[in-house]
Structure 1
Amino acid sequence: MNRCDAAPRTTATPAGLRAWSVAAVACLAIVVAGAFSTMPGLLIDPLRDEFAWSRGSIGFATSVNMVLYGLTAPFAAALMDRFGIRRVVVAALATIACGALLTTFMTAAWQLTLYWGLLVGLGTGSMAMAFAATVTDRWFARRKGLVTGVLAAGSVFGQMVFLPVLSRIIERYQWRPSLVTVALAAVATAPLIWCVLRDHPADIGRRPYGSDTFVPKPRPVQGAAARSVRVLGDSARTGPFWLLAATFAICGASTNGIMWTHFTPAAHDHGMPVTTASGLLAVIGIFNVAGTIASGWLTDRWDARRLLAGYFALRGVLLLFLPMMMASTVRPSMVVFVVVFGLLDLATIPPVLALCREFYGDESAIVFGWVSAAHQVGAALIAFLGGVARDALGTYDEVWVALGALCGTAALLALVIRRRIPAPRTGSDRADRGPSAVAQGRPGR
């Protein structure tokens, strides 16, 4: 008997525990991947001191990493449908470990682009939020917003846990041991992922959490790359895709692109010690966890569009005032910034994913992967241009102000997205899940 045809176990509690255990190990993989996103901001000054590289050349390698992080996500989601979640995740962990270790042997800037930009970018991109969306859609029929928030919080939790440790290692032992540390964390996580993570509840005869019926495991989908491109082509014909992609590109620019790459050197420009600035980023990570989980809870109950607009409006105000808060010491205004920005940083993920599900149904994980690619393109542009601006102007002040204005634009774009009016459902549609909006060729309004 095929595992997919096994009799479902109907006990609610064990089924719920199993779903949450799968979510927990998926979160662990995201935590480890998140640790790698903390490194660029910590490496800028050490690499400049050792190799005399410009901020622009280091920022270019970081931007390649971010672009590949985004572009890999939709293909990784399709590969998970083809080869299974845990195979893809274990391969991704091995890839980022190799990239980090090879980076310790580099002697030229192009090698940073190859090892960190290419290998680490491909590996971490395979464990991006498209991975979280795939796990959530397969294992949970209820509490999807909350689970999405928890998994999204995993990346910033990784930053929060590793950032102070890595900055201390760099301060005491230089930068190479810090890369070895994150590589070993990836290697140590891979066996646990292989043993605990399962591709689908049907593999062990379970129902998705909150489902009243047993859901058979779908057949492997051939042609992962072609499917990803086809979904992009279909979704690109709809209005909501471009609005979501634009807002998420601004989201990436105003978070990963500037904060995790340039906040530490920007604070250091004002006389703040690197360890203190890294500590502030860690505090942002602490409140990021709370904010993202709370946003997931709110997304299950409130209009995702209004939540998204509110998040961007508040973030824009904070960034506009940030240049006035920078100082050599931590002032109360900076504490307020860190707390509020932390609550808002990744709070955009649950509502954006909810909107992808609303408009694109069964293809939502891949569509979200492409929307996330826009997020990383925005992040990559600012990671590169922020360094260029600092080299040219001698300050980051104009960059903060420009990003604050962009966040105001993103708030307006979020309000432009209209609700999708569902088509009338037939009796057969009620028995089976209907095709997604993309498959039906209906542009969202």
Structure 2
Amino acid sequence: MIATATGPLSNLKVIDMTRVIAGPLCGQILGDLGADVIKIERPGEGDDSRRVAPPWFREPTVDAAGESTYYHSVNRNKRSLSVDFASEQGQALIRKLVVDADILIENYRTGTLARYQLGYEELKVINPRLVYCSVTGFGQSGPYSGRSGYDFLVQGMGGLMAVTGYPDGEPGAGPLRIGVPVADTFAGMNAAIGILAALESRHATGLGQHIDISLFESAAASLLNTASAWLNAGVNLGRTGNDHPSAAPYGVFEASDGYIIIATFNDREFDRLAKVLGHPEWLEDPRFSQNCERVNNRAALKAAVAAVVKQKTRTEWVKILNDATVSAGAINEMSDLEHDEHAVMREMFVTIGSVHGDVRSVASPYRLSQTPPNYRRPPPCVGEHTDEILDEMGYSHTERDALRAAGVV
């Protein structure tokens, strides 16, 4: 039995015409917050991310396609409707679905859906209240607007890889991608924020609007201090490995049995660190007494701190430092994070039963006291809810069978 949605968006209907990560993440955020999210997929094939594997959640067989764990990370709380919108009948079906929808999300290459009469200009005529969000690599205008954009590519072009990796002259120097698809993630979150803002505007005006979200701009907007340093001081922060460009000591240190992070962001924290490490004389040392000097003398300070840290275990140091109000923590593998006492208490991992077994995922980070998210549906199989949705739309059994016979659904 599917639980009743408890989130604040439980009165909203979303058409999710997205694939891979950024768009589906936006749809999952809205679904977690209660919206009825209908995922439009190509008959038979479905979302491209279903086959981005290994690892597999369900391995392919001679009789059935597999499903990747990648797909399962961003597609819970959705229903799947398989539609071939390249056909006129498929286009008509989606336009009928749009009539009473609140939101449509799409991440096709710029102009693709307009060719099928499914762009914003066409659909706002059917439903002026529709909030239509396009997520692309580079946006709806500009010289790159026709390009495809994947996370890795945009991490490089958007400036993230210029500040990720070890600096020249150190072992392993060179630009690195961040190990998770952060440009996709930022874009998906920005799409959800833009949609909620457009819904608030609709409360006042009664009208929807078109939202243009790009991975490129989302990556650049995440640069924060890096961008500000260049734009306002002409300073290129560059790659600093695990060190912070503007604070020290702030990085990875080796304990007797592994690594920890120590993060001191101001003089007050350094005061506490120096004392708990047994070196109060550092506070009088002109090389270390103020943050700007600590940054200038980073190497010497790092060596001094490292010499002390290697004398105890990770567990010992995490307790000692946090008890002294110094920010410190372990570097967790997924196996560590899953069993972290804080993660367990906060119920950061959820399990949803499916016909193919339990699907586990990271819980929504949105903790609302009155209208919390809930987890009603596992990521759907391709077209799993096609008949159910067509019934809701008023299609008869005969009409439904005809659409299936024609390959439309």
Question: Structure 1-normalised TM-score?
Answer: 0.25
Structure with the largest fraction of strand: 2
Structure with the largest fraction of helix: 1
Greater RCO (CA < 8 Å, at least 6 residues apart):
1
- Structure of higher CA gyration radius: 2
